[in-house]
Amino acid sequence: MAFGKHIKRLRESKGLFLREVGAALELDSAFISKVENEERPLPRKHIEKLADFLNTPVDGLLILWFSDKIIELLQNEPVAEQVLKISRKRLKKE
């Protein structure tokens, strides 16, 4: 699942409004709406605060956030699978 859609589900399951999430992160509710609709990425610096506010594990949010970044970078690249395979090997070595 994409980061924004996950955030929206969490927010709605807790009965929160966009403006409440925006206020907690000191961001405009219109910006939060764009994040939820996959139109804008949430800056990395807000992930931990968002996890605290939504009472959800930060690692889960980070995994989805980084996944979105990787997909954005590699989408439509014919060598994407090879890049991921080599990257996985390099991460294990370091």
Given a contact cutoff of 8 angstroms between Cβ atoms, the answer to whether 83 and 73 are in contact is no
Per-residue pLDDT 10s for the chain (94 aa) are 799 999 999 999 999 999 999 999 999 999 999 999 999 999 999 999 999 999 999 999 999 999 999 999 999 999 999 999 999 999 998 6
Given a contact cutoff of 8 angstroms between Cβ atoms, the answer to whether 11 and 40 are in contact is no
pTM of the complete model: 0.88
In three-state form (DSSP H/G/I as H, E/B as E, the rest C), the secondary structure along the chain is: CCHHHHHHHHHHHCCCCHHHHHHHHCCCHHHHHHHHCCCCCCCHHHHHHHHHHHCCCHHHHHHHHHHHHHHHHHCCCCCHHHHHHHHHHHHHHC
**Domain 3-93's class?**
mainly alpha
